[in-house]
Chain A
Amino acid sequence: MHSASAGQQPQARNTGTDLKAGTPRSVPALLQVRELTKDFDVSRPWLNRMIERSPRQLLRAVDHISFEIERGETLSLVGESGCGKSTVARLICGLYAPTDGSIRFDGVDLATITKRSDMLAVRRRFQMIFQDPYASLNPRWSVERIIAEPIRSHAIVKGDAAIRERVAKLLSDVGMAPSDARKYPHEFSGGQRQRISIARALSSSAEFLVCDEPTSALDVSVQAQILNLMKDLQREHGLTYLFISHNLAVVSHISTRVGVMYLGRIVEIAPTKTLFQRPLHPYTRMLESAIPDITMSGKARTPVAGEVPNPLNPPTGCTFNPRCPFAREKCRVDRPELLPFDGARVACHGVHEGWVPVEVVRQAPDHLA
């Protein structure tokens, strides 16, 4: 059922209703991703292949993943490096072309748009925020020019005075002074630069922001400022976020729902509370027990074994089986599908067949008193 072919009557399918059981649906989700796949060609150069007779080699970075994002919510994708989470972000923003699968934004399949003007109209509605605020702003441009670029290219407002006014408004929205417009990126700290990136992303009146590790390069106190800002802006402008991060604590703070990725697949997706109170997939549990938690100071925690296998040669069956404490023969042969389980969706034979015990690991908020 999960692997029903993409694209056939997409509106009629139970798009996400298994996640929020019983929620009546009239409008389709803002973003619907179906069976999205991306292969990278990592073969040796042509001449080497001819001489050494080695075959083409493909690395499957994203492996048939499906999810959707409702208006106004924040979906986070977490996982360790190399799990494909950033590739998903780039696929959605059109920085990579998908190998297979479809991406629908507001009901429109992005692959079917052929006219440039139509594409621009859609692209205006989503923007990206990158990890490194030092690399993502042009050092030779003034802040005003950086923020005004999307306004000009999408012709949101016309006339220099109007544009300047809008830039000033955007700057104050992200907590900076309108006079900062005349300065250059090097005059700002990392946190302020990230605010400029956010102002730029909002300048085309985007509704949907793809944020790839937006706070990973920042210090904790600045991270708190940016996370608060993102939440405020979401409320004020009704924004929808796809949030990519490796930091589970940040994710638990900002998300409505969380998807956990491992070797290019989503292994579990659930509302944030559910995921952190009752992680189902053994990998999710492992990740959670691995977070250094300042509240459990001094206590021993479950040791975590092994490392992510080579994605060029992933294990058969469930890709997590070599590290999984519950793995059985079936896990080495059969690839588990992402199926609904009590308010979540999880790809694990053990959970669905009942031989992996399900336990609640967190009762109530256990932050510092």
Chain B
Amino acid sequence: MTAPLLEVRHLRVEFNTRRGTLVAVDDVSFEIAPGEVLGVVGESGAGKSITGTAIIGLLERPGRIAGGEIRLEGERIDNLPGEAMRRIRGRRIGAIFQDPLTSLNPLYTIGHQIVETIQAHLPMNHAEARRRAIELLGEVGIPAPERRIDHYPHQFSGGMRQRVVIALALCANPRLIIADEPTTALDVSIQAQIIQLLKRLGREHGTAVMLITHDMGVIAETADRVAVMYAGRIVEIGPVQQVIHDPQHPYTTGLMGSIPAVGQDTERLPQIEGSMPRLDAIPPGCPFNPRCPRVFDRCRVERPDLLQANRTLAACWLHAPERKAPGAGRDWSEGAVHA
């Protein structure tokens, strides 16, 4: 296997508050290979966005990286000073955020903003940068880019704006793009177009993408591998097909079951009782244990690490070597669910 592009090891992010230290990301480790799309899913508050923000060095106080390391192409980037990190951001890691309106400056034409970004990272004169900007806009599917380049953000629709933001992220040909809920603010038909675009760009440029979203459908369509987060930890990580069709962690199983699908003929959706714990009240042991239908004693005291489970890794004691419980994910329907 090729050397990973991004390597995150035992990442821990803490927020110091008056009521004590909250651990938003707890011992998270994963890798992204060049050209790979890694999906990160989870419900709100699971720590997926914080993980992304920590990688691009945009954590705001009181949040801070309290442990672990982040390596980009082998080089440590989590402890770089501000200026050095700023050169990496944009040049080697691009970012796309949820709301395209807040990512663009309403006072400047999009051309101005793209040219500025290109010149900040690449040795190009204005005319060259402008040519490249037009090229980029064409590439992300904006019709008549040579005319549109002189328009202001408000003259674009939501979907078109998100394309502009993607063009901005691509300016300096970064090796990695961190996309945080890039399609959430968009209508389904536009969402589909943006997903197609992200996939195509990854393929053509060999850009790796870390796709953060709460929408399992988007992940299924786009990602190669997926990491499922719960209460600041990765509970399962593996190839997307495996995680969707044969989940090994009871949380993933519950999450998959609760997604309504078109044409599904069920009276009731399987549901996970309760809700994710708040950061100041994460239970000891496995954080999912109070909601887990297959909980046993060990889960309440000892925290599980990611264990090999079928073809994925799952942080669940059901997969402990001394306790072989085949098909942990599939027993959900047998009396475990409150139907």
Residues of A within 8 A of B (CB): 80-81, 189, 191-192, 219-225, 227-228, 231, 246, 248-250, 252-253, 276-277, 286-298, 301, 303-304, 307-308, 362, 364-369
Contact = CB atoms under 8 A, between A and B. Distances in A.
B66 interface: no
A95 to B, nearest CB: 24
Contacts of A291: 188, 217, 262
A294 B244 contact: yes
B275 A252 contact: no
Nearest to A254: B260
Interface in B252-269: 254-269
Given A224-B269, A292-B221, A294-B216, A368 B245 contact: yes
Interface stretch (B146-154, B173-181, B192-200, B314-322): B192-200
Interface residues of B, number: 48
Contact of A219 (B159, B214, B264): B214
Interface string B201-236: 000000000000011111111000000000000000
Contact of B261 (A189, A225, A368): A368
Contacts of B265: 365, 367
Given A246-B188, A249-B262, A290-B188, 10 more contacts: A220-B259, A221-B254, A221-B258, A224-B270, A228-B271, A277-B263, A296-B221, A307-B157, A307-B160, A367-B261
A221 B255 contact: yes
Given A221-B254, A293-B217, A368-B261, A231 B196 contact: no
B187 A252 contact: no
In order of increasing CB-CB distance, the 7 nearest A-B pairs are A292-B217, A224-B258, A367-B264, A219-B43, A253-B260, A80-B187, A224-B269
24 contacts: A219-B214, A221-B255, A221-B258, A222-B275, A223-B258, A224-B258, A224-B260, A224-B272, A225-B273, A231-B267, A252-B261, A291-B188, A292-B192, A292-B220, A292-B221, A294-B219, A295-B220, A301-B192, A301-B221, A303-B196, A304-B192, A307-B189, A364-B263, A367-B266
Contacts of B273: 225
Contact of B262 (A252, A304, A308): A252
B85 interface: no
B267 to A, nearest CB: 7
Q: Which interface residue of B245, B257, B267, B275 has the most chain A CB atoms within 10 A?
A: B275
Given A219-B214, A231-B268, A367-B266, A287 B260 contact: no
B8 interface: no
B21 interface: no
A14 B331 CA distance: 50
Contacts of B187: 80-81, 246, 308
Q: Which interface residue of A252, A286, A369 has the most chain B CB atoms within 10 A?
A: A252
A368 B263 contact: no
A80 B190 CA distance: 10
Nearest to B241: A297
Interface of B: 43-44, 157, 159-160, 187-193, 195-196, 214-221, 240-241, 244-245, 254-273, 275-276
A14 B60 CA distance: 62
B331 to A, nearest CB: 15
A302 B268 CA distance: 30
A286 B263 CA distance: 16
A303 B272 CA distance: 34
Contacts of A308: 187
Nearest to B196: A303
A296 B157 CA distance: 29
Q: Which interface residue of B195, B221, B240, B273 has the most chain A CB atoms within 10 A?
A: B221
Contacts of B263: 252, 276-277, 362, 364-367
Given A291-B188, A304-B189, A366-B263, A220 B220 contact: no
B244 A220 contact: no
Given A287-B188, A297-B241, A303-B196, A221 B271 contact: yes
Contacts of A223: 258, 260
A190 to B, nearest CB: 8
A189 B189 contact: no
Contact of B275 (A191, A287, A297): A191
A151 B189 CA distance: 43
B262 A288 contact: yes
Contacts of A293: 217, 220-221, 261-262
A287 B258 contact: no
B221 A252 contact: no
Contacts of A301: 192, 221
A304 B193 contact: yes
A145 B255 CA distance: 34
A292 B196 contact: no
Q: Which interface residue of B245, B256, B259 has the most chain A CB atoms within 10 A?
A: B259
Contacts of B214: 219-220
Contacts of B218: 292
A308 B264 CA distance: 29
